Structure 1
Amino acid sequence: MKRIFTSFLVLISMLVFSQESLPELLQQYNDKGVPYISAQELAMPKTEAILLDAREPKEYEVSHLKDAICVGYDFFDLKTVTDKIKDKDQPIVVYCSLGIRSETIGEKLKGAGYTNVKNLYGGIFEWKNNDFEVYNAKNMPTDSIHTFSDEWSKWLKKGIKVSN
C-alpha cells in the first residue's frame, strides 16, 4: 500500500511539474483575467506605466525592475496601492517571477476599479531572459535574480540564480 501511495505521489508530481513551455505553465495557472504585456513591449520607450512587483521583499531586494514598487503577495494590502495610485485609469504593470502571483494581484486591482492593469508575461525571468536590466536593493544594475524556488528557477535562462 505504501508503495502504491508513493508511486501515486510521484505520478502526480510529474504531471504537475512537467510543463514543457512557459505558455503551458501560464495556461495551467492563469485564466488571463489580466491581459499580458510582453517584456519587449514594456521595454519600449513609449510605454509608460507604474510597475508593481508582486513578489516578496526578499525577492525584490535581490532583483527588480527599475522604479518598481514592491507590493508583495503573501501580505498584499490593496490600501498600499490605493494610497499611492489615485488615478484608476493610470497604466499599471504587475509582475512577479513568472506572471502567476502577479495575475492574482492584478485581479485584485481590477476588482478595486483600476482599469488599465497588465501582467508582465513571464515576469522578471522573461525580462532578464530578454537581456533587459534589473536592479538590486541599492538600485544598481545586477545580474542576480531571485528565483523564488528551485522548481521555478528552470525558467530563468540568463543571469545569476539566487534563492534564499
Structure 2
Amino acid sequence: MKSTFTTILFLFSGLIYTQDSLDELLKKFNNESIPYISVTELKEIQDSVILLDAREKEEFEVSHIPKAKLIGYNQFMIQNVIQQNIQKNDTIVVYCSLGVRSEDISEKLKQAGYLYVYNLYGGIFEWKNKDFVVVNSKEQPTEEIHACSAQWAKWLLKGKKVYTN
C-alpha cells in the first residue's frame, strides 16, 4: 500500500514539473466548471464580494488575502458557509494556492445553490506575484506565503516561501 502511494505521489509530482504554464496546469487539474476571475479583476471589486479561502488553517495563518474567510478544503462543510449568512445571490470568489482546490469547493457551493461563484485564477500565488497585499493571522501585511510543497512553489515568484508540517 505504501509503495502504491509513493508511486502515485511520484507520478503526480512529475506531472506538475512537466507543466510549462499556469494555463496548462489548471487545464490538467480543473474541468473549468466554475468561471475564473483574474487577480486584477478581483482587486477592482474586492470590497463588494465574499472572498473564501479554500486552503487549510496553517496556510491561512501564514498569509491570506485581506478580508478572506477561511473555509478550508480537507474538512470543508457547506454548513459552515451557511452559518456565516452568505446569501445564495452574493458574489463569491474562492481561492487557494493556484486554483485547483478552489474549483472543487466552488463546485460544492454551486451544488448548494450559490449562484455567483468564481474561482480565482492562479490563487494567492498569482495575487502575490502581482504585488498585491497579503496579511498574516494578525491581519498585518506580510511577505510570507505558504508554498504547500516544492512542486507547487515553483508558481510563486514573489514573497517569501514558507512551509509548515
TM-score norm. by structure 2 comes to 0.89
Aligned to 1:160: 160
Aligned to 2:63: 63
**Residues in 1 aligned to 2:131 and 2:102: alpha-carbon distance in whole angstroms:** 21
**Residues in 1 aligned to 2:32 and 2:127: alpha-carbon distance in whole angstroms:** 19
Q: Is the 8 A contact 1:55 1:73 kept in 2?
A: yes
Output the amino acid matched with 2:71.
Answer: V
**Residues in 1 aligned to 2:12 and 2:49: alpha-carbon distance in whole angstroms:** 40
Matched, 1:96 2:96: yes
CA shift in 2, pair 1:37/1:12, >3 Å: closer
Q: Is the 8 A contact 1:150 1:163 kept in 2?
A: no
CA shift in 2, pair 1:10/1:57, >3 Å: closer
Output the amino acid matched with 2:80.
Answer: T
Q: CA deviation at 1:10?
A: 7.4
Q: Is the 8 A contact 1:41 1:47 kept in 2?
A: no
Q: CA deviation at 1:157?
A: 0.2
Please say which of residues 81-90 and 101-110 is displaced more in the overlay: 81-90
**Residues in 2 aligned to 1:12 and 1:28: alpha-carbon distance in whole angstroms:** 11
SS of residue in 2 equivalent to 1:74: coil
Output the amino acid matched with 1:37.
Answer: I
For the aligned residue pairs, the C-alpha RMSD in angstroms reads 1.8
**Residues in 1 aligned to 2:117 and 2:36: alpha-carbon distance in whole angstroms:** 9
Identity over aligned pairs, percent: 54
Output the amino acid matched with 2:144.
Answer: S
Q: CA deviation at 1:84?
A: 1.0
Q: CA deviation at 1:131?
A: 0.5
* Displaced runs of 4 or more, over 4 A: 9-13
Aligned to 2:51: 51
Q: Is the 8 A contact 1:98 1:124 kept in 2?
A: yes
TM-score norm. by structure 1 comes to 0.90
